[in-house]
Chain A
Amino acid sequence: MNLTDNMADNINMQVEIAGIKLKNPVIAASGTFGFGREYAEYVDLNKIGGISVKGLTLQKRRGNKPPRIAETPAGILNSVGLQNPGVKEFIEKEIPFLRKFDTAVIANIAGNTIEEYCEMAEILSSANIDAIELNVSCPNVKAGCVAFGNTVSGISEITRKVRAFCKKPLIVKLTPNVTDIKEIAKAAEDSGADAISLINTILGMAIDIHKRRPVLANNMGGLSGPAVKPVAVRMTYEVASIVKIPVIGMGGISSGDDAIEFMLAGACAVMVGTANFVNPEACVDVAEGIKKYLEKYNYKSVYDIIGKLELNE
């Protein structure tokens, strides 16, 4: 073992978010990693800090009409519409598989009504998962969801009510499609969120000029990928500087350097989404990239860089 290896081994990659210990600060983002099993052939799930599973609803959902995806400059637009087998099948079929691996399991939930969110939180509280991520930011479904997440009163009410049923750490995932993300984040914190994750996708549209119609069957969809990163970094910075609870940053991360930007801006952990589609090993690559950065600047722990951004005068 040479000196470099020694130093790398001394770097502490662990982070703790709302009581959940993650071996490294990289989590696969909801909707981009299925239930883990789809990627298990391509990447060692044991090397990923956590997996936020595909957004779950109380009942099975078929999702939106195709086409559900459009490629845009440095990004993609999607309108899957929360296709999933429902929370019960997730518990029966997917949790046992996920638990074979040493990685945190986060259940991302979405609903049409506050009651549905509460019921899911209650059911999942007795399931073998590490945390619940409240998806109040999906732009692709007609009823509920983002409607709860884009006003201070909406986010306060849903967070407070779900909190009462949720025995697991509660992460609230914010939508960027608001005027002031700070007041939304503060409202989530004040209403009992244990952590905040951001950003969900930015509402967008792509048009097929030859057909003179939107590319997506649903007309609009959520933009993700490198194109959204500067917006996501800015919002992560704004939120991290105003709340005391941990912030999980995401939006266009595909390398360790991308992740470092979010961590300097105040994120305790990051989620990797769209990059998984391009590179199935993206989560592991990001974790290794973070480690390399820490090594390069002689940091001993991830915590040495979290929120260490110094603004220009």
Chain B
Amino acid sequence: MAVESTFWELRLYVAGQTPKSVTALNNLKKYCETHLRGQYTIEVIDLLVQPQLAEGDQILAIPTLVRKVPEPIRKIIGDLSNEEKVLVGLDIRPLK
């Protein structure tokens, strides 16, 4: 199946270790392990360290999750607490 062979490149933008960012990262890891095991990478970018990267991906809100691959680019902002929304947003077909 096409979906299974796809690889997901995800990028999570945060600004320091704020509770929202930590929650978002934990949620993201959980969803990925459940639905995309072995098919994904998560890159966490801390804008406090690399502020110049905010412009490239048009980041306003923190935390922002960006799906770089597969295209097109998708963005999800917030602490990713709603699993269904995140899956729809990333266009991931739930396994269960």
Check if A and B associate. no
